[in-house]
Chains A and B, each alone.
Chain A
Amino acid sequence: MVELSSNFLFAAFILYLVGILFFGGAIKDKRHADKKNTPNKWAKIGLVVTIVGFLSQLTFFILRWIASGHAPVSNLFEFTTFFGMSLVGAFIVIYFMYKTPLLGLFTLPVAALIIAYGSMFPREVTPLIPALQSYWLHIHVTTTAIGQAILAISFAAGLIYLVRSVDQTKKTKSTLWLEVVLFGLISTLGFVFVSSFFAATDYSANFNYINKDGQPATEEYTIPALVGPHQFELTDKDRFEPLFETPAIISAKKLNTVIWSLAAGIVLYVLLRAILRKRVAAALQPWTKNINMDLVDEIGYRSVLIGFPVFTLGGLIFAMIWAQIAWTRFWGWDPKEVWALITWLFYAAFLHLRLSKGWHGEKSAWLAVIGFIIIMFNLVAVNLVIAGLHSYAGS
């Protein structure tokens, strides 16, 4: 059943990619460009494909739930793919409100990327440790993911707004930062490529090293080690010998993965630039030229407005209820909790700036981008780097 469910996830992933093509076609199709408010045939097919993809992923989710006996949101793979699914779901809802295919062209790639990223982590069905055996946990995690996904729609809208509005004829801070954001997405793709490639070749290199408590330990790398752990000794033959060694308090394996991802990201980015002969954002710009800027701005704001209460409910209130039951106190200043608080404060600031200081348009779009970075930071860095109570032993 677990294998069967995985097929549905894969199908969903492919469907999302197909959906991207259709939404792209919807925008390129000039014949309908001036007829406002009525999405063309391409867009309609794109939407259907996306919905089928969503249902397929929902099937994956349900089957895996049945197979494991608990809601599949209890390790990094499960949570991340669920987040991807919620993003698609949020897009579908927002699409029905605003009918903008361009939003699909930007949201679906992000969702696909998130799902691909999540799939790089161990995919076994994990049994639940006692602290996780609570339905409140599942309510908390799913609501939080849905809230974050709705908030992430504002990132897609913000990105569209920036691609459209940042002047690409000259070099400015805005063009630079926009490229940095796009580079971040490209590096995620780099991570997916690198991990998949070495997983396909079954690469494995084992090390003995001295951990931060001064004890001997072992570590298995599944991608070649550019940086080795503290006082490492490679125990496999014919494996890549690390170029550097890290101090004991840094997790060399994770650093190594980051370096590989960034390197692959740079290669991809340089390649793109060489092919496009202009900034990546500049190449995207023509796709956005028919969009109504006020509408995109409005979509960004609405999604924050809709997502904020959902996130508050899931990420703070349900989280507190669960923490009270499982950890005896509703709040413990654990890094994951603190970052949920930071996310919440950030979006509160966003709403205040927008309402009272009139931060619309570009400023608001940048804020939406930063908000998404905070969400991803909480999902990725806090889980993998700043390990606390919540960290799902992802590798």
Chain B
Amino acid sequence: MTEKKSPKIVMDSNGIERCLTRIAYEILEKNKGMDNLVLVGIRTGGIYLAERLQKKISAIEGREIPLGILDITLYRDDIAKSKKKAPLGKTNIPFDLTEKKVILVDDVLFTGRTIRAAMDALIDFGRPKMIQLAVLIDRGHRELPIRADYVGKNLPSSLWEAVSVNFLEKSGRDEVVIEEET
């Protein structure tokens, strides 16, 4: 048995801030402004990121971009296998998605299964013109044919490592941490 390595901080609050600023500009550049653009954050990490992207995009464009919250628990593909249930959070998408360009926001892109569930959920809300994906970290190991349109940082990782994003709102500080799975 090798000794367990201590958690390593791979991105600090300044790093996260710069990534989000860049992604905000990239979103506006790719979509030529914010017409018909909406943000949807995936519970829970994606909400914090989506809120910050909302502030940045709204500040750049001078008007508010709509923001929705999505809980994907009910769309998971492993829900029937486990008696244990993730606490079900509220979904709140207070606008029609039909013909909208949806920027789906999550913290870490890993197997792609969460994103598959999120896309199924979004389509139940209407027929978006387009769905794009923005993530802070892409750690690889995809199990489905899914890729992100906007990536904060590509972080090659091993399957036995855990990548977590801590947020000021929840943990008291912003940082991306990589550690060996316990």
- A and B from one complex: no
- Give me the interface of A with B, judged by CB distance under 8 Å: none
